[in-house]
């Protein structure tokens, strides 16, 4: 078998074409590169090539103290900044054996769910856009703007919040914020049906996604895929329910683990949409609980120089895109000896080698967009 690379020579009937998508291409969400071997319009082999956005964050963790590493943690998945910070501070708190005040626990849970909604709204709007539907992105950004105002009022940041601290949060919620949050969440909830009608009710969208890019349960386990993508293939696992952290153990009546059995692009979108509905319900439940709590501290007082005891620990969280893991090794200094980050997008994107072969080039965009990844989260 011979191969012909596009742009170098002409392709005879007996040769395969090698096509590079990216690393700067509208269909690759940024600097992701896909090397495809084509047989006509059908993909025979697919290789995701990553690393164009690598910042060396894990190495930089080793040169920052435990307060400074938070600024590195919230940037790799820029749509899930609060959740990224959360995993790092939870790992440090576990190493220190530190108890976080109850008010901080519930506030963290609330903000984590609002951050999950912000993440999901971006994909709920951008995925139809990639398939030719421009209207949903305007609805998504309308809701995102109003929720971003809430996060900005609390933290001062719109994307990189820097609101988590070892031992709790930077400061308490502003006066009157709970009432404003409740009104905003109610408004967002009332508008969510637009995706059911406008997107799921669109026969073109369903035709482009139903039965396309089917990911089996076996492939999910083989590649370590997690989050809505795994649950769309029938893998009934959600860390918030199965190994509760923060206040999720007390939200069992509200928390729903959304699954589908089909494992195709449509099932992945449906899981993401239904999970967004549930995150708004969880945020509402957190508001109810916070309204009942008496005034109290939002963080722990820390020494001027914070040092973690010698040892190692592992913390993991159910981030919006899937499982994030944080393996922290300390030698007793004020900086981590090693902080290994397991990001959801890195594992999820590897499934492309399983999903793309045998499909048409036209379906590549549908499949790629349905994996809901952020390139910075792949490269770290």
Tell me whether residue 340 is in a domain: yes
- Of residues 380 and 227, more confidence is placed in 227
And the tokens for 286? 């957190």
**Rounded Cα–Cα distance for residues 245 and 44 (Å):** 43
pLDDT, average across residues 99-124: 95
Give the range among 18-22, 24-28, 310-314 with minimum mean pLDDT: 24-28
Q: For residue 342, what are the domain limits?
A: 57-378
Query: How confident is residue 3, by pLDDT bands cut at 50, 70 and 90?
Result: low
76-80, 98-102, 112-116: which range is least confident on average? 76-80
Residue 352 lies in a domain: yes
**Average of per-residue pLDDT across 144-161:** 92
Average of per-residue pLDDT across 280-297 = 94
Contact 264, 204 (CB under 8 A): no
pTM equals 0.91
Structural domain includes residue 62: yes
Query: Cβ-count burial of 172 within 10 angstroms (0-12 exposed, 13-18 middle, 19+ buried)?
Result: middle
Is 19 within a domain? no
Asked, for residue 51, whether it belongs to a domain, the answer is: no
- The angle subtended at Cα 60 by Cα 95 and Cα 117, nearest 5°, is 70
Quick one: pLDDT at residue 52? 86
Among candidate residues 161, 173, 174, the one with its CA nearest the CA of residue 86 = 161
CA distance 93 to 235: 30
Q: In the 8-state DSSP scheme, what is residue 360?
A: B
List Cα–Cα distances, 318 to 8, 266, 328, in angstroms. Answer: 45, 22, 18
User: Distance of alpha carbon 72 from its chain centroid, rounded?
Assistant: 16
Q: Is residue 32 part of a domain?
A: no
**Cα–Cα separations (whole angstroms), residue 86 to 115, 161, 165, 189, 235:** 11, 11, 8, 25, 25
Q: Report pLDDT for 201.
A: 87
- The secondary structure of 24-73 as a DSSP string is SBGGGTBS-EEEEEEETTEEEEEEEE--TT---HHHHHTTS-TTTHHHHH
Given a cut of 60, whether residue 305 has pLDDT beyond it is yes
> Please, which residues have CB within 8 angstroms of residue 287's CB and are 6 or more apart in sequence?
110, 178, 181, 182, 185
Mean pLDDT rounded to a whole number for the chain: 90
Instruction: Name the CA dihedral angle for 171, 165, 248, 178, rounded to a multiple of 10 degrees.
Output: 20
Give the model's pLDDT for residue 14.
Answer: 53
Instruction: Say whether pLDDT at 299 is over 50.
Output: yes
Please report the DSSP string for 152-179 in residue order.
HHHHS-SS----EETTEESSPPPTTHHH
- Tell me the longest C-alpha to C-alpha distance in the chain: 76
Q: Under a CB-based contact definition with an 8 Å cutoff, are residues 82 and 148 in contact?
A: no
**Is 259 among the domain residues?**
yes
Look at residue 163 and tell me whether its pLDDT is greater than 50.
yes
pLDDT higher than threshold 60 for residue 8 = no
Mean pLDDT, residues 30-48: 89
188 with 143: CB under 8 angstroms? yes
Domains identified in the chain, total number: 1
Q: What is the CATH number of the domain that holds 354?
A: 1.10.645.10
In-domain check, residue 239: yes
pLDDT at 11: 47
Q: How far is CA 15 from CA 26, 149, 173, 273, 368, in A?
A: 28, 55, 63, 42, 26
């Amino acid at each position: 078998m011979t191969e012909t690379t596009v742009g170098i020579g002409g392709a005879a009937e007996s040769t395969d074409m090698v096509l590079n998508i990216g690393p700067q291409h509208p269909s690759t969400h940024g600097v992701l590169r896909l090397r495809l071997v084509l047989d006509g319009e059908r993909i025979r082999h697919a290789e995701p090539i990553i690393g164009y956005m690598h910042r060396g964050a894990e190495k930089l963790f080793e040169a920052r103290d435990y307060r400074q590493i938070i600024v590195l943690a919230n940037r790799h998945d820029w749509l899930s900044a609060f959740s990224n910070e959360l995993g790092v501070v939870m790992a440090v708190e576990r190493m220190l054996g530190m108890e976080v005040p109850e008010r901080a626990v519930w506030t963290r849970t609330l903000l984590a769910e609002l951050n999950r909604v912000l993440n999901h709204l971006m994909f709920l709007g951008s995925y139809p856009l990639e398939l030719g539907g421009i209207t949903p992105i305007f609805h998504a950004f309308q809701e995102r703007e109003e929720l971003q105002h809430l996060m900005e009022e609390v933290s001062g940041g719109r994307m990189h919040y820097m609101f988590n601290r070892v031992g709790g949060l930077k400061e308490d919620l502003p006066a009157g914020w709970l009432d404003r949050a409740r009104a905003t969440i109610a408004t967002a909830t009332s508008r969510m049906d637009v995706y059911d009608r406008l997107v799921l009710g669109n026969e073109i969208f369903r035709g482009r996604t139903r039965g396309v890019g089917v990911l089996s349960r076996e492939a999910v386990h083989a590649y370590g895929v997690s989050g809505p993508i795994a649950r769309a293939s029938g893998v009934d696992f959600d860390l918030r329910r199965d190994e509760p952290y923060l206040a999720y153990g007390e939200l069992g009546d509200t928390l729903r683990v959304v699954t589908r059995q089909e494992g195709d692009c449509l099932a992945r979108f449906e899981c993401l949409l239904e999970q967004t509905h549930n995150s708004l319900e969880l945020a509402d439940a957190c508001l109810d609980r916070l309204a009942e709590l008496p005034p109290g501290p939002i963080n722990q007082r820390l020494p001027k120089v914070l040092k973690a005891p010698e040892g190692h620990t592992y913390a993991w969280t159910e981030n919006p895109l899937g499982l994030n893991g944080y393996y922290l090794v300390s030698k007793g200094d004020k900086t981590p000896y090693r902080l290994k980050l397991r990001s959801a997008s890195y594992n999820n994107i590897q499934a492309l080698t399983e999903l793309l072969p045998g499909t048409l080039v036209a379906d590549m965009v549908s499949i790629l967009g349905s994996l809901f990844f952020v390139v910075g989260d792949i490269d770290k």
